[in-house]
Amino acid sequence: MTGAGRATPSRRAGGAGARTARARPGDRVYTVTPSPLGGLVVVGDGEALTGLWFLAKHRWFDGIDDRWLHDPVPLAPVSEQLAAYFAGELRRFDLPLALDGTPFQRRVWQALTAIPYGTTTSYSALAEGLGRPAGARAVGAANGRNPISIVVPCHRLVGATGDLVGYGGGLDTKRRLLAHERGQRSVIG
C-alpha cells in the first residue's frame, strides 16, 4: 500500500490499537468481512478500495494498522460484492480502486483485471502483452505485491506450463479460488 520512496506504516498484528469511529475524508477505514476462505481484511480511503488481504495468512499483510478506523459502512459495497463472488453470482467486480505502487506495478495490476473469470494466463504471456517479452519475473514480482487480492485477480496467473506458482495467500487458497471460478463449488463452501 505504500508507493516507491515512502515509508511503510507501522502495524500491529491484530490491530490492538485500531480505532472505531466514523471516518472523515482521507481516513483509512477497514473491516473484516467473512468468506469461505476465512476473514478478509478490507481497507479503503473513503472513496476507493485500497487493500484486501486474507486475515489468517498473507505474505504482505502485517496486521491492522493502529491508525485505521474500523468502519464497515463505507466498505459495505466491497463486502457485498465479495459475498456475491463467493456465492457464484458475480464474475467481475465493479468497485473504485486506488492501487498504490510503481507505474509498472499498476500496469500489471490493471492487466490482471482483464483476465476473464474462470481462466488463467501465464506470467510470460502477461509480460508479452505488456510489451516486455523477457519480463515474466518482473510481472511475478509486481503480481506478488498486489494489494487487492481477489478483486485484482492475481490468483489467475500461473507458470508457463500451467503449474500453480506463488500466491500471497498460499497455494491452497489459489487452488481453491481457481476451482471455485471453474464451477467446483465444494472447494469453497
List pLDDT tens digits, range 87-126. Answer: 999 999 999 999 999 999 999 999 999 999 999 999 999 9
Does residue 176 sit within a domain? yes
Q: What is the CATH number of the domain that holds 127?
A: 1.10.10.10
List pLDDT tens digits, range 28-39. Answer: 899 999 999 999
List pLDDT tens digits, range 124-161. Answer: 999 999 999 999 999 999 999 999 999 999 999 999 88
List pLDDT tens digits, range 48-93. Answer: 999 999 887 655 667 788 888 999 999 999 999 999 999 999 999 9
Total domain count, the chain: 1
Does residue 54 sit within a domain? no
**Does 111 qualify as catalytic in the annotation?**
no
Does residue 33 sit within a domain? no
Joined together, the cell numbers standing for residue 32 give 473484516
Q: Is the pLDDT of residue 7 over 50?
A: no
Does residue 118 sit within a domain? yes
Q: Which of 99, 154, 157, 158 is flagged as catalytic?
A: 154
**pLDDT > 90: percent of the chain:** 65
Q: What pLDDT was estimated at residue 166?
A: 80
The residue behind cell 499498476 is: 106
Residues with Cβ within 8 Å of residue 50, at least 6 apart in sequence = 1, 28, 43, 44, 97, 98, 99, 100, 147, 148
Does residue 146 sit within a domain? yes
- Average pLDDT of the chain is 84
Q: How far apart are CA 94 and CA 40, in angstroms?
A: 18
Encode the chain in three state secondary structure. Answer: CCCCCCCCCCCCCCCCCCEECCCCCCCCEEEEECCCCCCEEEEECCCCEEEEEECCCCCCCCCCCCCCEECCHHHHHHHHHHHHHHCCCCCCCCCCECCCCCHHHHHHHHHHCCCCCCCCEEHHHHHHHCCCCCCHHHHHHHHHCCCECCCCCHHHEECCCCCCCCCCCCHHHHHHHHHHHCCCHHHCC
Q: At what angle do helices 103-112 and 136-144 cross, to 10 degrees?
A: 80
Q: What pLDDT was estimated at residue 66?
A: 87
Does residue 77 sit within a domain? no
Q: Is the pLDDT of residue 12 over 60?
A: no
Q: What's the domain range around 133?
A: 103-187
Does residue 115 sit within a domain? yes
Joined together, the cell numbers standing for residue 97 give 480502486
Does residue 75 sit within a domain? no
